[in-house]
Amino acid sequence: MSKVNTVLGTIPAEELGLVAIHEHIGYGMPGSELDTTWWKTPEERYAETVPKLRAFHEYGGGTFVDATGICNGRDVDYYKSLSAKTGVHIVACTGFVGGDTALPHFARASVDYLAKVFIHEISVGIGTTGSRAGVIKVGVSRGGRMTDLDKRIYRAAARAAIQTGAPVLTHLAIDAENAIAIFQEEGLPLDRVLFGHVDDGVNAENTRDTWIAEQGGRVGFDTFGYETELEDPPFWARPRQERLDHFLRFLNAGHLDKALAGADANCSPLGWAGVKGHTVNYIFEDLIPDLRKAGLEEDAIRTIFVDNPATFLTLSA
Amino acid sequence: MIYPLSVDVSAAVATTVHETVTTVLGPVPAHELGVTAVHEALLSVVPGAQFAPDIAIDRAEIFEVLAAKLRDFREHGGRTIVDSTGMFHGRDVNLYEALSRATGVHIIASTGMGPEEMLGGYFLTPQTNPPTPWPAEKFAELFRKEITEGMVVPRVERRGPAGLVTTTADPNGMTPTEESLFRGAARAALDTGVPLSIRYGADALHDLGIVLDEGLPAGRVLVGGLDRADADGAALEVAKRGAFVGLDHVGLNDHPNYINDAQRTSLVMELVNAGHSHRIILSSNAIGVAKGLPEYHLPFSHVLSTFVPFLKQQGLSDEDAHRILVDNTRELLTHS
């Protein structure tokens, strides 16, 4: 039986449909909740979010994977209501975006404790919500090198992945040698790991995407839409054509079976202004048309957005 | 967007000149404070512990425990307690309002943060390139608004204003971000008239110097932790500079990093004999309810019911005892 944990319960992988693999309902750095600059009323949050999810659903989107870590404003009760009312499956994560977004209680914790937290959230539930996490988020702190805390979180994630069968999804794939060493030491098969953000503007040059794929890891081109052509691009933006060419090069090198793609957009950002004009629906409005224009077959598009995510998200234990 | 306030802030500001103190239920005339514990924690939650699956946070149970401790404090003559944990260590303004109404104890809540290790990534590695930590002025603005516009219930609303700003430095020495916190906290205190409570890092006089450098009068500052084993004469020097001396781990007798109550007694008498009785603040840093850190169930009444009687046996006059328990705390907490 193929099972995936969504916020509304377990579903068969066959029901996932087209998957946005690395997205955010709303992201904020820990502590941003103290700064009223970014506050929105619930009315505003729903008003910003529901139309995007409705459009995603109408375009044919099936599943939205929320990669917002434990301390980044993850709000599972809210996701449940969004999912129930829009018909979009939402997969919530356990874990942390990076060591620098883990609050002191977790930053001080041992690998063993962190693994227990992740396992609990995957197999029992997140807080009092009753919802189980479907994926484990880990990541590299700002600075481009894994910190000791990042490494502890990766190691805990590996152990939790082995025990629960949940996949691991990374924020940044820079310093992948260290990450892969940890996964290998713990015995986690690398096809249970999606090395994300290989296409981001700051780190792409130094990210060894094909090497990761050759080791057996899955590779996420999942910051599509953060473009220098935007009205007010963020510092991690990149020229549109350059990112697309990068992705096509990766596919043409024979790594289609390792490729996943997403937009990393916020429906309604929590602790920052967000990026005007960028939504999850970039996948339908820009990315898939661009891929077709570049000559990619429908089968390949299906592999990237449906088949690869289904295999990845299926609990394997 | 307007966030409704439960307490009329304009009233608090308007009556500042009439010697008021800001409690969670609104401004209170300073003379009503009575015996006050200045360095205590009501609900203390290590940031992140609220998300831990192995830590239960049951509000009814927390309320019951805290209410019992506050009633004990009141029965021993305590009237006012300051939750000096700042804005990001479990502060729960709604809970404190209900507790104050239920027990009759005045509760003063604090804004501020620290040490750096306790901060969220929003302040340390912001989404900018490079991720430069927050400067003093941004901290000042964050804290100031908690005093002028009300304390935040995160992403929901502002409640009543904070009555104190607090911050802390790393015991191994103040980090650059902690210097920003200290300067920001000092500016917020200076601009609003609420007092500043600092828990020093490695060097009490250095850390006091940082906040005085912002132009804050020494009489608006409480330096906590001066009963640390490594404080080494700093208490007298802090008093000489005109700041309040926090001997604020009263009741802690078996900790290698702190002196014990017998030594605290000697220190109190030394300060009194040197003419500094008007600078002494006694408190216990007790924790009402702890989540994610060890419980510390010393009664909030310990200073009042055990330590001060002992001080009197050692020769502290009634007048000085009253000064320490009532007058000094009132002077510190009254808006300037």
Q: A208-223 burial string, b = 16+ CB within 10 Å, else e?
A: bbbebbebebbbbbbb
Beta-strand relationship, A61-66 and B280-282: unpaired
How far, in Å, CA of A263 to CA of A266, rounded? Answer: 9
| DSSP-derived secondary structure for A242-289 | HHHHHHHHHIIIIIGGGEEE----BSS-SSS---TT--TTHIIIIIHH
Is the model's pLDDT at B9 over the cut of 70?
no
Please state, rounded to an integer, the average pLDDT across all residues of chain A: 97
* A105: closest CA of chain B, how far (Å): 5
Q: Shortest CB distance from B88 goes to which of A31, A106, A127?
A: A31
Instruction: Assess A285–B contact: CB distance below 8 Å, yes or no.
Output: no
pLDDT, residue A46, reads 98
For chain A, list the domains and their CATH numbers: 3-313 (3.20.20.140)
Tell me the backbone φ, ψ of residue B297, rounded to 5 degrees.
-85, 30
Count of other CB atoms within 10 angstroms of residue A73 = 23
pLDDT, residue A317, reads 73
pLDDT in tens, B67-114: 999 999 999 999 999 999 999 999 999 999 999 999 999 999 999 999
Enumerate the residues of chain A whose CB falls inside 8 A of the CB of residue B51.
70-71, 103, 105-106, 127
pLDDT band at A150 (very low <50, low <70, confident <90, very high): very high
pLDDT in tens, A22-36: 999 999 999 999 999
Task: Decide: B132 and A40 in contact? Cβ < 8 Å.
Answer: no
**Nearest residue to A139 via CA among A99, A184, A187:** A99
Is the model's pLDDT at B7 over the cut of 80?
no
- A162 Cβ partners below 8 Å, 6+ apart? A186, A187, A188, A317
pLDDT in tens, B134-157: 999 999 999 999 999 999 999 999
Enumerate the residues of chain B whose CB falls inside 8 A of the CB of residue A236.
129
pLDDT in tens, A50-74: 999 999 999 999 999 999 999 999 9
The number of helix segments (H) and strand segments (E) in chain B equals: 13, 13
pLDDT, residue B1, reads 37
Q: Please state the ipTM of this predicted complex.
A: 0.96
Q: Do B125 and A33 count as a contact with CB atoms less than 8 A apart? A: no
Q: What is the mean pLDDT of residues B42-51?
A: 98
Q: Which residues pair with B187 in a beta bridge?
A: none
Instruction: Assess A202–B contact: CB distance below 8 Å, yes or no.
Output: yes
Residue type, A31: G
Task: Decide: A133 and A126 in contact? Cβ < 8 Å.
Answer: yes
Provide the 3-class DSSP secondary structure of residue B228: strand
pLDDT in tens, B221-265: 999 999 999 998 999 999 999 999 999 999 999 999 999 999 999
CA A258 to chain centre: 15
Is the model's pLDDT at A42 over the cut of 50?
yes
Residue in chain A lying closest to B151 (CA): A34
pLDDT, residue B273, reads 97
Q: Do B155 and A117 count as a contact with CB atoms less than 8 A apart? A: no
Q: Which residues pair with B229 in a beta bridge?
A: none
Question: Tokens representing A200?
Answer: 């981001």
How far, in Å, CA of B135 to CA of B115, rounded? Answer: 15
Provide the 3-class DSSP secondary structure of residue A155: helix
How far, in Å, CA of A99 to CA of B228, rounded? Answer: 32
pLDDT in tens, B161-202: 999 999 999 999 999 999 999 999 999 999 999 999 999 999
How far, in Å, CA of A26 to CA of B167, rounded? Answer: 30
For chain B, list the domains and their CATH numbers: 9-333 (3.20.20.140)
Beta-strand relationship, B106-111 and B78-83: parallel
Q: Do B129 and A36 count as a contact with CB atoms less than 8 A apart? A: no
pLDDT, residue B15, reads 41
Question: Tokens representing B110?
Answer: 């604090």
The percent of residues in chain B predicted with pLDDT above 70, rounded, is 95
Q: What is the mean pLDDT of residues B328-332?
A: 98
Is the model's pLDDT at B312 over the cut of 60?
yes
pLDDT, residue A28, reads 98
pLDDT in tens, A155-182: 999 999 999 999 999 999 999 999 999 9
Q: Which residues pair with B245 in a beta bridge?
A: B223, B280
CA-based angle B188:B193:B198, to the nearest 5?
55
Q: Do B127 and A107 count as a contact with CB atoms less than 8 A apart? A: no
